[in-house]
Structure 1
């Protein structure tokens, strides 16, 4: 009976958290549980914490549950760290003896960068996750206690399926050509180059709430609009899958998602942009222009237990989680 009640209460809390995060029908949401055996009983509970920042010493500010909301790119990193943090400690007093003996509950919900910032501004989430630069007006809205924590560096790789009949010939595309492909002026590969096949081009993008859409618009499209016929994807993983499965598809797949998709076998081929490849070296040097930070932000004072989790995120364990998800860590071990 206790387990059933715990499952019901956990489900209700998760549902309310997702509403606060603006999660929609096509947007997946999962949380990590306190331990493998308790996953079902604790109803998808996940764990996350804080980075090195000012923490409140007032025990009345302690809150056993922490909610991260936003970027689908940061989501798998934070979700895995929430899970491992919870499995390691289970209750907050095991993290720090001064904390109460309450179960650790850290929820991680995807919804897009814009949704994440809004949730942090509104206070419906403790932390908003972004995969783009934060805007000045968003910083202003978050107020005097604004803090940001960059977890990883990412880039958008212009990718086609390895099954694309033109894959061997598609080595480099300049910005102007990319604009013509993504705005719909070029509808067939033969328009890109006469040596390519006469097959139709299928454009894949992230949905408009995702940070990737804004990054690509700023770095490549400028004042041109992406064609309305482009297929939108609810997450970067979905975008990578869509491009990989379509022999005539092209899309801007995140560096992390690209690496994960190609982990077992090569299903995506990257195309250089203006002669520059999306390699770790070129991303870190700034030579590859379609890149972005992956981070989380808050506009409130950070509590001591939130601080403890953020320290965990920026530990060696966190570093390894960033690498395992195909991204470039923004911090050292």
Structure 2
């Protein structure tokens, strides 16, 4: 009897140890900022490659930077829920979103602009360098279904619209700056990342989309940015806000920075860090 009791107690104790271990693992996995060995960054597909390069360039090899994209919405969500050390956001963070974070921190690395770009083989480039806001609305709403609907000189070839999915910051920026109350056509191809959007324009001569200025510079000659109301998306026009379709590049967090996070942020804001922003085709916050 004593032997049976000893076995039962031993089993109970073992089960208790297993559950205690599982509980501890679950608690620490909820808050990424508690893992001081790694800095996890989630969000904007536009900003993700910049942050990844910065992580690779760090001299402090005790800091490991993990980056995954998913859109600016995912970046804000990660910051609110603290599933990452930092959220990557390529749009303004709304007051409502900030209100969900008790100790909101925002690091502005620079600016991007959304260019209205077409394939270099698109015949619109023979006669036009610029589109008006009204023409862009007509194209992206689906009111103009063929290029001949934009200009009677153009062939009656179907316009291929490429936009970011709703989770991307670009979709919100474009709606606010260009579309207003008009909705983007349901026929538009929704790209899961800015890289995918850019590639769609490169691959199809009848495509048009709002490609990031950084991606346009990285793929120079493979797609052509058009002026909007006569204003080209140059560095000067973006900085002085003459070019209206621009957006900030942000790293956000809820809470104070730990030592490793501060080291990483200091590098991002340094001349070397900001050079990575500029070298990627964006405009750093110098």
TM range (shorter): 0.7 to 0.9
The structure with the greater share of residues assigned to helix is 2
Partner of 2:106: 148
Partner of 2:199: 241
Q: Deviation string for 1:131-152 (max 9, x for gaps)? A: 0011001111112x21101112
Partner of 1:138: 97
Deviates more, 1:251-260 or 1:161-170: 161-170
Q: How does 1:246-325 map to 2 (within 5 A)?
A: 246-262=204-220, 266-325=221-280
- Equivalent position to 1:89, from 32, 44, 60: 60
Q: Distance in 2 between matches of 1:159 and 1:122?
A: 36
TM-score after normalising by structure 1: 0.74
- Report the Cα offset of residue 241 of structure 1: 1.2
* Alignment coverage as a number of residue pairs: 257
Root-mean-square deviation (CA, aligned residues, Å) is 1.8
4+ runs deviating over 4 angstroms = none
Partner of 1:330: 285
- Report the Cα offset of residue 62 of structure 1: 7.3
Name the SS for the 1:292 alignment partner.
Answer: strand
- Report the Cα offset of residue 89 of structure 1: 2.6
Q: Distance in 2 between matches of 1:124 and 1:62?
A: 11
Name the SS for the 2:125 alignment partner.
Answer: coil
Q: Could you tell me which runs of 5 or more consecutive residues in structure 2 were left unpaired when the two chains were aligned.
A: 1-25
- Equivalent position to 1:169, from 91, 103, 127: 127
Contact in 2 for aligned 1:153/1:328 (Cα 8 Å): yes
- Report the Cα offset of residue 166 of structure 1: 2.4
Q: Could you tell me which runs of 5 or more consecutive residues in structure 1 were left unpaired when the two chains were aligned.
A: 1-15, 21-48, 50-60, 92-103
TM-score after normalising by structure 2: 0.86
